[in-house]
Amino acid sequence: MVYTPVGGVPDILQGYSSKTMLKDVSKDEIEKALAGLIGTFYLKNMLASFDYAQRFDWNNIARQVTQVYSELISNI
């Protein structure tokens, strides 16, 4: 979230973690703030995608299958 310190806006946004306050409303500062937020958003999504993809790694799948077979064998 990008905002300017006008009126009660800073108080309203106090509980938000992802925010950038613009001190000077210029094209360069807006661009810098938006680029930072987009970069943070992209990084978070990329890391979440990587964690999800790790579930389908063959080493993890083999470990899970081995665990299931081990439990089946121990219950016989």
Segment 23-70, tens digit of pLDDT: 878 888 888 888 887 877 777 777 777 778 888 889 889 999 999 999
Residue 70 is predicted with a pLDDT of: 93
Q: Is 11 helix (H, G, I), strand (E, B) or coil?
A: helix
The structure tokens listed for 15 are: 């509980």
Find the farthest-apart pair of alpha carbons in the chain and give their distance in angstroms, rounded.
72
Non-local (6+) Cβ contacts of 32 within 8 A are none
Residue 51 is predicted with a pLDDT of: 79
Residue 65 is predicted with a pLDDT of: 92
Residue 66 is predicted with a pLDDT of: 94
**Cross-strand pairs, 20:** 2
Residue 62 is predicted with a pLDDT of: 92
